[in-house]
Amino acid sequence: MGKKRVLIVDDEEDLTWTLNKKLSKDKDKFDVLLASNGREALELLSQLPIDVVVSDIKMPEINGLDLLLEIKKRYPSTKVIIMTAYGSPEVRSKAIQGGCLYYIEKPFEINELRSMILDALNEKEGFKGTVSDFQLPDIIQLNCLGRLTSALIIRHEGEEGTIYFKNGEIVHAETRDHEGEEAFYQIMAWKGGEFSVKRMMKPPKETIFKSWQNLLLEGLRLADEASNLAVEERENEKKKRIIMAQNELDKLLKIKGTIGVFLFTRGGFPITYSLKEEKFGISVDDMGSKSEELIRKSEEIIKELDPGETINLLFSFKKKLIIVTVLSNQTDYITVIADSSVNEARLRMELRKTIEALEKIFKE
């Protein structure tokens, strides 16, 4: 069976270039094709089998909704994801009625779109996503960080369990014999299996009230006790550290005026982050690349003045404060963004505590 194909249709060249670059890390799973309008998209569809089409709505010649209808008419097995900066209940309703699988509003996190694409590809093959391939804690964390309302359905050796998310929080879980936290931990203990994610599926009730970070930590701890495999233990330890780091970032975000807190690896790849989404206007991926660029430029200067000095950058603007600090391991760094209402002295004091906590968490 040949590699799958994903076609991105948008007249914004910057966006298609960015999506193509970011999705290239999944080149072992699918190829990405680009089209700048609906006409080009239909030409490509007539020449090659396309598994998933990701299309904007507002485009010249053929708009996204008309393209959706044409695709479902000519190529009914092709999945369609609609993205738009002009979202409304009416547009959303038309897209869903037209047969789109998912609907996402700009601006969005690329990881959320990536998750939708992978879901669509897995659904096309009849539920072929496997927990062993994707790692259940990763799938759960993606739903939480994306603040999704969805249902994660897992099948394992004749058993079936469902974890429900509401705005990124785990609010209910159920298996044949259990519900609530007990069901969640039972699902977390399953090794292997198949999964699917159903977007916008609301929970039948709410039985879980712990934070998702604490649920995952406890689930991983219980999973550790049930497993003697060293590789799995190392993976679980890594995930536990990331969740513990997430907790530390969440504490910093509670300071009045703090907008976003990010932990990146050198290279600008996010380890984890915490942000007040309604106040944030740049993608996490862009924040990582821009922070990394600042660090590289600063290193070039410091190399001449004071070699070996730890990078600690502070940018104070009229309405924003940005702090970028490299951790002592020199492989990770933290970026904090705040508005003018923040108490800078308190933020810097608490940031030092956060960095100390992070360095303990990631100390080998």
Selection from 310, 308, 312, 306 nearest residue 325 by Cα: 312
Please check the confidence at residue 230 and state whether its pLDDT lies above 80. Answer: no
Please check the confidence at residue 46 and state whether its pLDDT lies above 50. Answer: yes
Residue 172's pLDDT band (boundaries 50, 70, 90)? very high
At residue 9, the pLDDT reads 95
Q: Is residue 233 part of a domain?
A: no
Q: Is residue 216 part of a domain?
A: yes
- Please tell me whether residues 211 and 256 are part of one structural domain: no
At residue 349, the pLDDT reads 93
Q: Is residue 63 part of a domain?
A: yes
pLDDT tens for residues 176-196?
A: 889 999 999 999 888 777 887
- Please tell me whether residues 189 and 289 are part of one structural domain: no
Would you say 105 and 85 are in contact if contact means Cβ atoms under 8 Å apart? yes
Q: Could you please report the per-residue DSSP string of 24-43?
A: GGGTTTEEEEEESSHHHHHH
Per DSSP, helices labelled H in 48-204 are 64-74, 89-98, 110-124, 131-134, 136-145, 181-188
- Please tell me whether residues 215 and 164 are part of one structural domain: yes
Selection from 189, 243, 245 nearest residue 214 by Cα: 243
CA angle 349, 351, 355 (to 5 degrees): 125
Distances (CA, A) of 150 to 162, 163, 172, 202, 323: 10, 8, 11, 6, 34
- Please tell me whether residues 102 and 135 are part of one structural domain: no
Q: Is residue 235 part of a domain?
A: no
Residue 351's pLDDT band (boundaries 50, 70, 90)? very high
Average pLDDT over all residues of the chain: 84
Q: Is residue 237 part of a domain?
A: no
Polymer length in residues for the chain? 364
* Mean pLDDT of the 258-275 span: 86
- Reported as half-sphere exposure (CB side, CA atoms, 13 A), residue 151 has a value of 17
What amino acid is encoded at 269 in this protein? F
pLDDT tens for residues 283-321?
A: 788 888 888 888 888 877 777 666 566 678 888 888 889
What amino acid is encoded at 181 in this protein? E
Would you say 207 and 172 are in contact if contact means Cβ atoms under 8 Å apart? yes
What amino acid is encoded at 362 in this protein? F
- Please tell me whether residues 205 and 168 are part of one structural domain: yes
Number of domains making up the chain: 3
Q: Is residue 67 part of a domain?
A: yes
pLDDT tens for residues 96-127?
A: 667 777 788 888 888 888 988 988 887 533 33
- Please tell me whether residues 210 and 178 are part of one structural domain: yes
Alpha carbon distance 64, 103 (integer Å): 12
Please check the confidence at residue 22 and state whether its pLDDT lies above 70. Answer: yes
Q: Is residue 14 part of a domain?
A: yes
Would you say 33 and 8 are in contact if contact means Cβ atoms under 8 Å apart? yes
At residue 336, the pLDDT reads 92
Let me know if 262 is exposed, middle or buried by CB neighbors in 10 A (0-12, 13-18, 19+): buried
At residue 332, the pLDDT reads 87
Distances (CA, A) of 220 to 100, 135, 187, 213, 225: 36, 12, 11, 11, 9
For residue 73, give the CATH number of its domain.
3.40.50.2300
* Mean pLDDT of the 321-346 span: 89
Range of the domain at 35: 4-110
Q: Which H helix or E strand runs over 167?
A: none
- Please tell me whether residues 202 and 273 are part of one structural domain: no
